[in-house]
Structure 1
Amino acid sequence: MHLLVVEDDDIVRMLIVEVLDELGYAAIEADSAAAALKIIEDPTQPLALLMTDVGLPDLRGEELAAKARESRPNLPVLFASGYAESFNVPPGMHLIGKPFSIDQLRDKVLEILGPP
């Protein structure tokens, strides 16, 4: 399963991708919403999940998710936010609060997708 990880902080993105790889998922990285949209809009790119930071520099995570759903209406979305308590999760989407542990990330992805 291919998971798209959108995070502008290089270290955080690298750690998330490493954890997902260790769990058996194939993680694809994007450091901005613009880079993510190029991947999302490529019909040859399989994607099982979009995991995005809420606070991206070029587009809010909710806006990225809405654009992603235009071309991939059934794509599951997982938001990561340091302000989880004040974030309103759009219907049919998921949230994990930052900072999160490896176990919390694993459990949340398994809850959404099941095992790889």
Structure 2
Amino acid sequence: MPATPSTILVVEDDDIVRMLIVDVLQELGFSVLEADGSARAIELLEDTNQRIDLLMTDVGLPGMDGRALAQKARELRQSLPILFASGYADTVEVEEGMAIIGKPFSIDQLRDKVKSMLGI
């Protein structure tokens, strides 16, 4: 791990699922920001003083879904890696610099996917 831990923004509308993901990422040594939906996530993404190295978002968010959020995130931060979480991972296509992890996923799967996306 680098001296400054990578910062991951986790966007998940299910409080329990979000809490579990945040806990796992923090235990793995990452700095974590969390949002319960797209509106809060966009506020964090628009804050140019806020470091964000990876966006992890549920695909099925209410209102603006994860795909629309990813598009907005890329407008604000062009090279931001984006990890989608979905119970329907095999039906989701992703662009370059984006990946998907199928729900449910193990701690090891999450760690490996995040580390590969961050290049660590």
The number of residues matched between the two structures is 115
Aligned to 2:60: 55
TM-score, length of structure 1 as denominator length: 0.96
Match of 2:96 among 91, 98, 101: 91
Look up the SS of the partner of 1:74 in the other structure: coil
Q: Note the residue ranges of structure 1 that are not aligned, 5 or more in a row.
A: none
Q: Cα deviation per residue 1:34-53 (whole Å; 9 max; x = unaligned)?
A: 00000000001000000000
- TM-score by length of structure 2 reads 0.93
Q: Percent identity?
A: 63
CA distance in 1, matches of 2:24, 2:63: 25
Paired residue for 1:110?
A: 115
RMSD: 0.8
The aligned counterpart of 1:23 is 28
Superposed CA deviations along residues 39-90 of structure 1, whole A, max 9, x for unmatched, are: 0000010000000000000211111001011110010000000001111112
Give the partner amino acid of 1:69: R
Moved over 6 A (4+): none
Gaps of 5+ in 2: 1-5
